[in-house]
Structure 1
Amino acid sequence: MNPTLLIGIGGMTLFLVPLCAIPIMTLLRRRKRLKQRLLAVRQTDGIVADTGVTRAKAPPLVASVASLGFAVVRTGLLSKRTLTELEQTLQAGGFRGGSGLGLFVGSKMLLVVILPVIAFVLLGHVHMRPILHIGAVGAAAVIGLLSPDYVIRNMRQKYLKAVERGLADALDMMIICAEAGLALEAAIRRVGIEIVHAHPKLAEELSITSGELNMISDSRVALTNMGARTGLVSLRRLGGTLVQTIQYGTPLSVALRTLATELRQETLTRYEEKAARLPVLLTVPMILFILPCVFLIVAGPIAVQVIQKFRH
């Protein structure tokens, strides 16, 4: 079989994976933006309880995929531990609500079936060994099974980076609220409202924490859940610091100012580490692209003169 044709078929199969995922992810982002806008309006108006706002109806494609996923979940093929881990992973990536788990499982099932069928159809008219044909179809099934995990992993990393990026600014605003005389619950709620335009992901986490503080009698549980939802070390430290201020009576502004200084110092340290890695990362491009040009300029005229002398 022609290797060029095989490479082209493999590239086409890899291209179809994000092509199938793009429409679903676009619909999810639109729905998430709508939910964030509704949440911002409700917070701005000072509404904490349910105001009767109806949820946006899911698009037909998303609803169908989610229904398929929930049907698979109800069969019992996945253990409770696996389902719990999946829900925690989706929540840490910003997917909260009833359809996240079903959409994830359903997309896996669809891609496991669709991609091998596409690979089988594309390779049907290609003359190749049966073992290679079976291997290509199996590789397409593996890609379809693992591609949702890859997409969710990338979205989770982007979500956590967005949350951590605005945490220092949120702490500065909480310090201002604490020094102005606001209580802890009111400070968290106010910061979540004010920071929604600059850091919407962090505002969502603070809004959830504010709601739990209003509903749960023990505020320490709500503050601990703030770090447990995402798994971020910085949010865990913030929750632990707030719990200590409640338990031991430490001044809130002093504790928050210390934590904000530590977070900014850690951010600066990470930037310095990345800057220190640049000389090492630039070594390979310099060897591949710069040194050959230098050798050509330095040794090129000498090589031309030597060649001319040998010709004479």
Structure 2
Amino acid sequence: MRLALLALIFIIVMAMVMLMSNALARRAATRARLNEVRGERLRLTDSASLRGDTMAKGWHKLTEIIEKSGISLVDTQGETLRARLIAAGYNSPLAPKLFTAIRLGMLVLLPAILVGLIFLGGTEISPFKLYLFGVGLAVFGLYAPNLFISAKADRRREAIVNGFPDSLDLMLVCVEAGLGMEAAFDRVGREMQHSHPLVAQMLSIVTLELRAGSSREEALRNMASRTQVTEIRSFSTLLIQSDKLGSSIGETLRVYASEMREKRRMRAEEKAHRLPVLLSVPLVACMLPVMIGVLMLPAIIRVIREMLPAMSGG
């Protein structure tokens, strides 16, 4: 009995030692992995920031060289162009000048490429056609960047509108939990970095402006002007009026979140109702001629077999 008891105690002690050693080993491995991930994230952040600084310096030198050569890159509608570029996601101060430089480059480069290909290929083309194609390419190069900026701005607006109701729900939870407006914006911005990065970026910029000393009204109006989205502009105006009148922010967020969800549902229903109309065009253009041919072909063959001999006197 004594030996059995000692053996049982030895087994229990060894089991406890093994369990503790395994737990410590797992904890050490987890800590090492976290340190490795943290170091890799810092390295990627530093390299990305250095790469961004290098690219910004390169673009800045390029614009300086172009302007020193006598070509002005200042647009006559600078504020409007700046607002369009910000709505498309280009927040750099050099963005308007780079946009103008790209337009001028494509205006000259595309016709030059056409002329070079014609002369290198040895193709003979009339001066009128060469002039016509050159003008067409020049016009395309002049307006293609505008179309690209407009399309990208529309995609960003759509992404913001689709993700904004979810951010309002999270913001309502934060406000009802006791957080202020600035803290709610910061919390929601950090929570939505992966699901809706554009909305998270928008809220993070508002938080930074509030922390920098801007008033709440100024920060909200800047948010509306940056995004150029009707729903965001209405939301900013609603929050400013609620702040001035002293009404409940939570109730305001609840009502507006319900309206945003209803609008999103109505947009989805509108797209669903448009689908049969859009499908009717390819159905009529592709399937209707085939169906008519399949139905009428036997009758046409029979008419040909019976009418042609009778008409020829057979």
Q: Is the 8 A contact 1:91 1:230 kept in 2?
A: yes
User: How far apart, in 2, do the equivalents of 1:306 and 1:53 lie?
Assistant: 79
Q: Identity over aligned residues, as a percent?
A: 31
Highest RCO, 1 vs 2 (Cα 8 Å, sep ≥ 6)? 1
Query: What does residue 113 of structure 2 align with?
Result: 118
Q: Is the 8 A contact 2:224 2:236 kept in 1?
A: yes
Which one of the candidate residues 270, 273, 282 is aligned to 2:267?
A: 270
Task: Give 1:170 deviation, angstroms.
Answer: 0.3
Query: What does residue 8 of structure 1 align with?
Result: none
Task: Give 1:311 deviation, angstroms.
Answer: 5.4
- Tell me the alpha carbon deviations over residues 4-53 of structure 1, each in whole angstroms, 9 at most, x when there is no partner: xxxxxxxxxxxxxxxxxxxxxxxxxxxxxxxxxxxxx89xxxxxxxxx99
Query: What does residue 221 of structure 1 align with?
Result: 218
Q: Are residues 1:156 and 2:153 paired?
A: yes
Which one of the candidate residues 184, 189, 192 is aligned to 2:186?
A: 189
Task: Give 1:290 deviation, angstroms.
Answer: 2.0
Query: What does residue 62 of structure 2 align with?
Result: 68
Q: Are residues 1:102 and 2:97 paired?
A: yes
Letter in 1 for 2:137: A
Which deviates more, 185-194 or 284-293?
A: 284-293
- Tell me the alpha carbon deviations over residues 176-222 of structure 1, each in whole angstroms, 9 at most, x when there is no partner: 10111100000001000000100111111111111111123421111
User: How far apart, in 1, do the equivalents of 2:77 and 2:245 lie?
Assistant: 38
Task: Give 1:130 deviation, angstroms.
Answer: 1.1
Task: Give 1:296 deviation, angstroms.
Answer: 2.7
Task: Give 1:62 deviation, angstroms.
Answer: 7.2
Letter in 2 for 1:96: N
Query: What does residue 10 of structure 2 align with?
Result: none
Task: Give 1:56 deviation, angstroms.
Answer: 2.8
Which one of the candidate residues 159, 173, 188 is aligned to 1:176?
A: 173
User: What SS class does the counterpart of residue 92 from structure 2 fall into?
Assistant: coil
Change (3 A) 1:273 1:121: same
Q: Are residues 1:200 and 2:200 paired?
A: no
User: How far apart, in 1, do the equivalents of 2:179 and 2:50 lie?
Assistant: 34
User: What SS class does the counterpart of residue 197 from structure 1 fall into?
Assistant: coil
Q: Is the 8 A contact 1:66 1:100 kept in 2?
A: no
Q: Is the 8 A contact 1:69 1:107 kept in 2?
A: no
Change (3 A) 1:147 1:71: farther
Task: Give 1:131 deviation, angstroms.
Answer: 2.1
Query: What does residue 14 of structure 2 align with?
Result: none
- From the two aligned structures, give the one with the greater helix fraction: 2
Q: Is the 8 A contact 1:209 1:222 kept in 2?
A: yes
Task: Give 1:54 deviation, angstroms.
Answer: 8.8
Change (3 A) 1:108 1:56: farther
Change (3 A) 1:182 1:168: same
TM-score (norm: length of structure 2): 0.75
Q: Is the 8 A contact 1:113 1:141 kept in 2?
A: yes
Query: What does residue 12 of structure 2 align with?
Result: none
Task: Give 1:107 deviation, angstroms.
Answer: 1.8
User: How far apart, in 2, do the equivalents of 1:282 and 1:64 lie?
Assistant: 49
Query: What does residue 90 of structure 1 align with?
Result: 85
Q: Are residues 1:259 and 2:253 paired?
A: no
Q: Are residues 1:298 and 2:295 paired?
A: yes
Query: What does residue 232 of structure 2 align with?
Result: 235
User: How far apart, in 2, do the equivalents of 1:304 and 1:150 lie?
Assistant: 52
Query: What does residue 25 of structure 2 align with?
Result: none
Query: What does residue 48 of structure 1 align with?
Result: none
Task: Give 1:104 deviation, angstroms.
Answer: 1.7
Larger radius of gyration: 2
Q: Is the 8 A contact 1:62 1:103 kept in 2?
A: no
Q: How many residues are treated as equivalent by the alignment?
A: 264
Which deviates more, 285-294 or 73-82?
A: 73-82
Which one of the candidate residues 44, 47, 55 is aligned to 2:49?
A: 55
Q: Is the 8 A contact 1:123 1:133 kept in 2?
A: no
Letter in 2 for 1:197: H
User: How far apart, in 2, do the equivalents of 1:106 and 1:59 lie?
Assistant: 20
What residue ranges of structure 2 are gaps of 5+ in the alignment?
1-40, 310-314
Q: Is the 8 A contact 2:75 2:100 kept in 1?
A: no
